Amino acid sequence: MNDFLSNSRQNKSDLSLRKLSCELIWKVNFSEPLSSVFLSFDSKDAVAVSRRGEISVINASEGKIIRSTDLKVPLICAFIDNSTREIFAFGSNSVSRIASDGVKLWHKIIQTPIITGALSKINNSFVICYEGNKIVIADYNAVPKYKGVIDSKGPVSSIYAPELSNNFTVVTAAGDVFFINAYGNVLWQFCINDKLNSVSMSRDGRIIFAGSSDNKVLCLHSEQKVLFNYELKSPVICTDISEDGKYFAVGCSDGYIYILDSNGNTVFYDRPLSCVSKIYLSDGAEQILTLSDSNLISMYKICERKTLEDKSKDFAGFIELDSNVNFKTESSNGADGLNNNNNNDNSNNNGFEKFIEL
């Protein structure tokens, strides 16, 4: 089922200074459960992946399915290259490359179970994370360039490769953040006492934003700075950063969606869904793409809150959002609001001691 609601495009401005609402633009309800969705870096296409193995490319402006390819293997996630429009799909034991017309270029069977993957457009390569925290970096023809292991007490839970940076980030359930270059070298490691399960980065790779099942979000700078760390009301499932790096999105297990500005202040939040498993922000945080209830993909537009008169003239679905809500901060628990693995460490240097130079 596809529903499209026509809405005008908003002007780019400071969201935090305005009373905001979130209007539904379109939604696509799939008949089969989805394992993931990905919004292309140019926000033109959304790639939906079913657990059974079907890949659907959706026009992100209209919510129309452009094409579908059925690989007939269990899939975890898929990513699209902005330039070639090729898709790289990661299954539980396979990796596939699909041309822009839907033709399968190659399909590789992997013996070791795959946890997740990422596509690095700038490096013309992809990254696979296996069980046992093994990582492989390979080029677009599936020729390995690096093989190694992430040294963490917990399994890899998420990975992100930004559009315009050679570096990528891996997080683990043990609370480790690894900042890695294109050759597989760990540039630095950050440790926190939270079960991290999601990570995203700004387009230039300088900002890292992670969420945890311990109800927290963590924002780091690539120059080894802690920007902010907050506690929410429920476990974080997914995170994203707008491509300009100015806004941060959080999806939680209870269906709440949060949007923060670059200072960590809440722009708005609401509970439009029962559970959010994926969330993406367009450039300037003009639109939000979500995957919820395992099979529903929705695109929302962030806009000015409507008056009662405006609402009576507009039949488009809307969700009122509160722009005056603040997160609960953990600043009372430490100098930068972060839990430290060493209980007797009382340093006040914005978390620099938690970075490990490698």
Name the residue with higher pLDDT: 9 or 38. 38
Angle at 258 between CA 35 and CA 18, to 5 degrees: 135
Range of weakest confidence among 66-75, 197-206, 226-235: 226-235
Q: Residue 1's pLDDT is what?
A: 45
Name the residue with higher pLDDT: 356 or 52. 52
Residues in CB range of 135: below 8 A, 6 or more apart:
127, 128, 129, 146, 147, 148, 149, 150, 156, 170, 184
Q: Residue 262's pLDDT is what?
A: 84
Domains, the chain, ordered by start: 2-339 (2.130.10.10)
* 100-116 average pLDDT score: 95
Dist CA 105 CA 141 (whole Å): 9
What token pair was written down for 136?
A: 């492989």
Residue 322 binned pLDDT confidence (cut-offs 50, 70, 90): very low
Dist CA 90 CA 112 (whole Å): 13
At residue 171, does pLDDT exceed 60? yes
Dist CA 289 CA 41 (whole Å): 12
CA distance to 58, 101, 168, per residue, from 63 (Å): 6, 19, 30
Q: Per-residue pLDDT tens for 15-29? A: 444 566 778 999 999
Residue 261 binned pLDDT confidence (cut-offs 50, 70, 90): confident
At residue 111, does pLDDT exceed 80? yes
Model pTM score: 0.80
* 122-144 average pLDDT score: 96
Q: Residue 245's pLDDT is what?
A: 82
* 286-299 average pLDDT score: 92
